[in-house]
Structure 1
Amino acid sequence: MDIRKNIAVSENGFIFNPLTGDSFSVNQTGVFILRKMKEGDSNEDIMKALQEEYELDTYTAEKDLYDFLSLLKSYQLTENE
């Protein structure tokens, strides 16, 4: 799943969707995931990075990632819907 190209993401977690005018705030974990998505990392690579960065077990990293991806999709912030 890819973040839409026109979505603006600030370093402090502010997300802006110019198509809808909607804006959102995410925590540092959300910023971390979004940055990895924009770099083109696969979901598997993002999960591994989450485990390393935040010292998570596999289950927690996977759940956190897929919960966050579901939210992005529900707010129409992803390309693969």
Structure 2
Amino acid sequence: MKLKSNIATSENGFIFNPATGDSFSGNNMAAQLLEAMKSGKTDAEIRQEILNRFDVSENQFDRDWDNWMLQLKEANLLEI
């Protein structure tokens, strides 16, 4: 899935949706994921990059990724 093009993010994890006025705070990992998504990387590319850079199992990453996507979807931040 792709982040909506109008979503503003900062390098410290702040997220702003100008269409709704909603804002959210994320952590450093959220900021890295958002940057990767905004740069056009595919889910598979992001997954592989995270698995290569961090000590996380594939199963744990997949659970966390699904949770992350659900949060973004519920916040109306994804193009569907």
TM-score if structure 2 supplies the norm length?
Answer: 0.93
Deviations 1:17-61 (A, max 9, x none): 000000000111111111111111111111111112222111111
Question: Which residue of structure 2 lines up, in the alignment, with residue 5 of structure 1?
Answer: 5
Question: Which residue of structure 1 lines up, in the alignment, with residue 61 of structure 2?
Answer: 61
CA RMSD of aligned residues (A): 0.9
Once superposed, which parts of structure 1, at least 4 consecutive aligned residues long, lie more than 2 Å away? Answer: none
Question: Which residue of structure 2 lines up, in the alignment, with residue 27 of structure 1?
Answer: 27
Once residues 11 and 21 of structure 1 are traced to their aligned partners in structure 2, the CA distance between those partners, rounded to angstroms, is 19
For structure 1, the residue ranges without an aligned partner over 5 or more in a row are: none
Question: Which residue of structure 2 lines up, in the alignment, with residue 36 of structure 1?
Answer: 36
Aligned residues: 80
Q: Structure 2: which amino acid aligns with 1:59?
A: N
Once residues 79 and 11 of structure 1 are traced to their aligned partners in structure 2, the CA distance between those partners, rounded to angstroms, is 21
TM-score if structure 1 supplies the norm length?
Answer: 0.92
Higher strand proportion? 2
